[in-house]
Amino acid sequence: MNTKDFNSFRQVFSNEEIEQLCSLYMEGNLDMEEEKALAKILASSTYSGEIVEETLFLMGMSASESYLIKEDADVRNKRNAVKFGIARSLFNILKTSAAAVCVVFAVSMIWNYFNPSHICDEPVYEVYADGKKISDPEQCRLMALMSYEKSQRFIAEMKAIQNEKLVDFEKKKMDADNKFKEMQTYLREIN
C-alpha cells in the first residue's frame, strides 16, 4: 500500500494495512493530513492490536477522544462542526487543567515534605484526657509513657498465656504419643 491510496482515504482498511499505517506514523513518515486521516481510521476501526494501542497512546488519543473523532466523521453541516470543535476544545481545556492541578498538587506535596522550615527541633505533644487538653509537655510525655508501658505489659501477658498454652499442648501431644506407642506395642503383642 502506498500513500496515494492512503490520501484518498478509503473507508475500509484491512488489519495489515492499519498496522502498516501505524508503523509509518511511528517512523515519522506521515504528514499532518495523513496523521489526521490515520486518527479517523483508528477511531472508526474495531481492530485493536498492540501497535494500534501504541499509536493511539502516542497520538494522545483516549477512548473519549476516539469517540469524538468518530463523531467528527459523521458531522456534515457547519453548525454541528462548530459545536463539535467547541466540545473538543472544552475537553482539551479540562484535560489540561486537570493535569495542571495534579502538577501543582505534586509540587506542593514535595515542597512541604522537603521544606526545612516545617521541621521542628522538639516534638510537640497534645494530649486530651477526659475531653480536656493537657498542655504541660512533661505531663503529656508521662501519660504517653504510661500508656506505652501498659500496652507492653498487656503484650507480655498475652505472650505468657500463649507460652502456657504451648507448654500444655506439648504435654498433651507427648501423652498422646506415649499412648499411641503403647497401643502399637499392645497390637504387636496381640498379633
Render pLDDT for 108-128 as a digit per residue (tens, 0 to 9).
888 777 766 655 566 665 667
End-to-end CA gap in the chain:
90
4 and 51 in a single domain? The answer is yes
Which residues, in sequence order, are CB contacts of 43 under 8 Å at separation 6+?
A: 61, 66, 67, 69, 70, 73
pLDDT in tens, 14-51: 888 888 888 888 888 888 888 888 888 887 777 778 88
89 and 149 in a single domain? The answer is no
3-state secondary structure of 1: coil
Instruction: Spell out the long-range contacts of 168-173 with Cβ–Cβ below 8 A and sequence spacing 24 or more.
Output: none
99 and 48 in a single domain? The answer is no
In a domain, 124, yes or no: no
Largest Cα–Cα separation, the chain: 105
6 and 40 in a single domain? The answer is yes
Which candidate, 120, 123, 126, 121, places its Cα nearest to that of 140? 126
Where does residue 55 rank: exposed (0-12), middle (13-18), buried (19+ CB within 10 A)?
buried
Range of the domain at 180: 136-190
In a domain, 172, yes or no: yes
Where does residue 75 rank: exposed (0-12), middle (13-18), buried (19+ CB within 10 A)?
middle
69 and 114 in a single domain? The answer is no
In a domain, 131, yes or no: no
In a domain, 80, yes or no: yes
In a domain, 130, yes or no: no
Which candidate, 102, 117, 101, 36, places its Cα nearest to that of 73? 36
The pTM assigned to this predicted structure is 0.31
Percentage of the chain with pLDDT > 90? Answer: 13
pLDDT in tens, 91-100: 888 888 888 8
